[in-house]
Amino acid sequence: MSKRAFNFCAGPAALPEAVLQRAQAELLDWQGKGLSVMEMSHRSDEYVAIAEKAEQDLRDLLAIPSNYKVLFLQGGASQQFAEIPLNLLPEDGVADYVETGIWSKKSLEEARRFGNINVAASAKAYDYFAIPGQNEWALSKNAAYLHYASNETIGGLQFDWVPEVGDVPLVVDMSSDILSRPLDVSRFGLIYAGAQKNIGPSGLVVVIVREDLLGRARSICPTMLNYKIAADNGSMYNTPATFSWYLSGLVFEWLKKQGGVEAMEKLNKAKKDLLYGYIDKSDFYTNPIATNARSWMNVPFRLADERLDKAFLEGADARGLLNLKGHRSVGGMRASIYNAVGLDAVEALVAFMTEFEKEQG
């Protein structure tokens, strides 16, 4: 069987082995055409079919209503931090932002370059261990949109609810939890996600945007960052990240075969219950996040004594449990358990954690 390690990387993250095998089988000769997907014109019938199928599969997976455009863009989620205000925030307008960690902070700091930003709520008051309830938010009267991050990849803080903002378009960074469970797209004005966690390889960011929000870009908005131009050109105003888009399509096919986002929700719940359950039982490992805000995708945890961190990581590595080191800004450990990380990986991690605790605890 496979010699592949269990990869707990936060991103670029583990991809389903079946997807990689399929890509490998098709690498030199895609479906008898005698060339690789990487070598095809993005305007060729073959590639357009690949791109359209990927979009349709994503639409099926998330039941995306027909009045939403799906864009396959470049520049990562970080470029969206600027692209969103350039497209949606009028020069004299105000946008509301909810700050729950490093990524939502980065997005609002970038947005400040383009206009008036109101920080409607911040998890700082809770040391980033909990999400302020909506009754604590100070929303603007006429916000152009409200932005939040549904899952903070570094802090391990995730919304298990969708904000209620009436007619104000809800804009969400779902980079690290899209496709991990069912989602009511119609609640949102715009959803964006860097691909390299639950979608595919890096080089791609997926934007799902309600049609009435197109065509509002500022005059200074660069052509390449204008959603309407991207939408009108089928995300091919310029050469798209063709291979990343193709591989993401293979991931969508794989997801459908697994039973879609409903099946992922079940699997992801079992994984996070196992890991948090063990951490909570143990006196050696801790996770400080409020139970209802704990991320299903990124589980940060600390050892009782940080001097043991190095031995823990070395022991994990030796067992093929890779990339458990926490983000450099917070230290400790972090296990990212996206869709492609199976229950067997989490079982292997918990077995190792148990063994390490017995030895060192």
Report the interface residues with ligand PMP, using CB under 6 A: 11, 76-78, 103, 149, 153, 173, 175-176, 194
What distance in Å separates the CA atoms of residue 169 and residue 146, rounded to the nearest whole number? 6
Question: Are residues 44 and 246 in contact, defined by beta-carbon separation less than 8 angstroms?
Answer: no
What distance in Å separates the CA atoms of residue 211 and residue 193, rounded to the nearest whole number? 18
> Residue 231 CB, nearest distance to ligand PMP (Å)?
20
> Residue 199 CB, nearest distance to ligand PMP (Å)?
11
Give which of 290, 310, 303 is closest to 160, Cα–Cα: 290
Exposure on the CB side of residue 102, measured as CA atoms within 13 A: 9
User: How many residues can be counted in the chain?
Assistant: 361
> Residue 201 CB, nearest distance to ligand PMP (Å)?
11
User: Is residue 173 marked as binding?
Assistant: yes
Gyration radius (Cα) of the chain, Å: 21
Residue nearest to ligand PMP (CB): 76
What distance in Å separates the CA atoms of residue 277 and residue 342, rounded to the nearest whole number? 17
> Residue 21 CB, nearest distance to ligand PMP (Å)?
26
User: Is residue 242 marked as binding?
Assistant: no
**Which CB sits closer to ligand PMP, 98 or 353?**
98
Strand duo 298-303 + 333-336: pairing? antiparallel
3-state secondary structure of 116: strand
**Which CB sits closer to ligand PMP, 78 or 140?**
78
What distance in Å separates the CA atoms of residue 311 and residue 190, rounded to the nearest whole number? 43
What distance in Å separates the CA atoms of residue 69 and residue 226, rounded to the nearest whole number? 13
User: Is residue 78 marked as binding?
Assistant: yes
User: Is residue 103 marked as binding?
Assistant: yes
**Which CB sits closer to ligand PMP, 135 or 329?**
329
3-state secondary structure of 190: strand
First to last CA, the chain: 34
> Residue 77 CB, nearest distance to ligand PMP (Å)?
3
> Residue 190 CB, nearest distance to ligand PMP (Å)?
14
**Which CB sits closer to ligand PMP, 78 or 286?**
78
| 8-state DSSP, 293 | G
**Which CB sits closer to ligand PMP, 81 or 278?**
81
What distance in Å separates the CA atoms of residue 165 and residue 199, rounded to the nearest whole number? 28
| 8-state DSSP, 284 | S
Catalytic residues: 103, 173, 197
Question: Are residues 119 and 67 in contact, defined by beta-carbon separation less than 8 angstroms?
Answer: no
**Which CB sits closer to ligand PMP, 104 or 356?**
104
User: Is residue 323 marked as binding?
Assistant: no
What distance in Å separates the CA atoms of residue 50 and residue 44, rounded to the nearest whole number? 10
Give which of 37, 88, 356 is closest to 200, Cα–Cα: 37
User: Is residue 92 marked as binding?
Assistant: no
Indicate the annotated binding residues.
43, 77-78, 103, 153, 173, 196, 238-239
Indicate the annotated binding residues for L-glutamate.
43
Indicate the annotated binding residues for pyridoxal 5'-phosphate.
77-78, 103, 153, 173, 196, 238-239
